[in-house]
Structure 1
Amino acid sequence: MTTTAEANPRLESRSGRFFARYYDAMTQRAEEKWGRPLRTLMFGELTGDILEVGAGSGANLPYFAKADSLVAVEPASEMRRQLHRRAAEVPLDVEVVDAWAENLPLPDDAFDTVVCTLVLCTVTDLPAALSEIRRVLKPGGQLVFFEHVRSPGAVGLMQDVLAPLWKRAAGGCHANRRLLTALRDAGYRVRIHEIVRPWPRYPTNTPYVRGTAVPLPADRDR
């Protein structure tokens, strides 16, 4: 079954619609080289109730083999059309929700795991999105993520310079987002499992980090 919640009124840009339409074609080479094994590693053993934030065109859906339930949130209409098609092809019952990460129309304490892959670089208000993820996680739940982060050194400085242009060209992606710092500031305990520097390597999105983040109890946040 698939359903759609009420959409956030924030408008999609023309570049965002173009990016969504051709994203799968642009990432096909990376998917064949390292994307599929990585998805199997990250999601194949996840159980319980799972929320994927920014599910895109649904590339992750076939890999949630042991999940009890899956809610897939995606605000981009072009991506969501593809997501609906893929949701109908997997054996798991997937609920598709039209919403932004900063305002999830979902109940508190509802999910064992929240999944984010290459999406937290695009959210407009990262602290709000991390707060929403924390809200919908069950006590003891986890955020599983694979995201690119700002590089140290000269590459990071280049990302700072390119960030405004890249944001307009790549569907709102922030080339220099300091995600790990933001997670810790939001009260998560972060565990980095792997730093990934695939080839070919583009200066706007390297390195990638695979990790988990667990919300700390409120009295230990600071």
Structure 2
Amino acid sequence: MENKCCYDFFMDPIEKKFLNKLRKKLLSKAEGKILEIGSGTGVNFELYGKHDVVAMEPDEKLRIKSLDKVNNKNIKVISGDAENLEFKDNEFDTVVVMLVLCTIPDNKKALLEIRRVCKAGGKILVLEHIKHKNKVLAVIQDILTPVWKKIAMGCHLNRKTVDIIGNLGFQIIKKEYHIGNNFALLEIINNK
């Protein structure tokens, strides 16, 4: 079995114990027309209400696997590149970004694209693992990242995602750290 299709299997214990609660909490803030960046295997699909959702996933195998989770929801699953979004300016009320900024080669460009397609005053909801503030744990992340990238679809364990978002001028209205400060949950208002 390829590593890219094993997300549900390997992540299931962490999802059940921690991440599903964080996903529910964050997605309860979603409104209007929603774009989900990097929808993977569709793990968020069951958490969307009656919203219209465009779920973008560049990996064909993950995208196909996610179709089993669409059910009768208003979810359209498409291929796409977060660094070059093929949507109009201001098309979405909410953009959801969960555990994907670590894999995007140019996450700054992707964030600027997210800003562009999200309406002014719209929401950007982020759940990401981050570089640890503890220096010893951060060094361990740095050491593990080259190997981890190869087995986890390019995932960087050591990205300073919260700093990157803040440095791009996004208005973070709520910031929480979870699971030993390894994950950040952010609510952002698109202040373009």
Same fold (TM over 0.5): yes
Instruction: Give structure 1 regions of 4+ aligned residues with deviation exceeding 3 angstroms.
Output: none
**Residue identity in the other structure for 1:122:** T
Q: Which of 116, 127, 132 is the aligned partner of 2:113?
A: 132
**SS at 1:48 equivalent:** coil
Q: RMSD in angstroms over aligned alpha carbons? A: 1.7
Deviations 1:165-201 (A, max 9, x none): 2211211001110111111222201234321116xxx
Q: Distance in 2 between matches of 1:110 and 1:131?
A: 14
Q: Distance in 2 between matches of 1:127 and 1:41?
A: 25
- The runs of 5 or more residues in structure 2 that have no matched partner are none
Q: Is the 8 A contact 1:117 1:145 kept in 2?
A: yes
Q: How far is the alpha carbon of 1:155 from its aligned partner?
A: 0.7
- What TM-score does the superposition give when structure 1 sets the normalisation length? 0.80
**SS at 2:53 equivalent:** strand
Q: How does 1:53-68 map to 2 (within 5 A)?
A: 53-67=37-51
**SS at 1:211 equivalent:** strand
**SS at 1:167 equivalent:** helix
2:6 corresponds to: 22
Q: Is the 8 A contact 2:22 2:185 kept in 1?
A: no
Q: How does 1:79-90 map to 2 (within 5 A)?
A: 79-87=62-70, 89=71
Higher-Rg member (1/2) = 1
With over 3 angstroms needed to count, the CA separation of the structure-2 counterparts of 1:160 and 1:191, relative to structure 1, is farther
Q: Distance in 1 between matches of 2:60 and 2:76?
A: 15
Aligned residues: 191
- The runs of 5 or more residues in structure 1 that have no matched partner are 1-16, 199-205, 218-222
**Residue identity in the other structure for 2:55:** A
Q: How far is the alpha carbon of 1:31 from its aligned partner?
A: 1.8
Q: How far is the alpha carbon of 1:135 from its aligned partner?
A: 0.7
1:209 maps to 2:174 = no
Q: How far is the alpha carbon of 1:66 from its aligned partner?
A: 4.5
Q: Is the 8 A contact 1:47 1:66 kept in 2?
A: no
**SS at 2:102 equivalent:** coil
- What TM-score does the superposition give when structure 2 sets the normalisation length? 0.92
1:147 maps to 2:122 = no
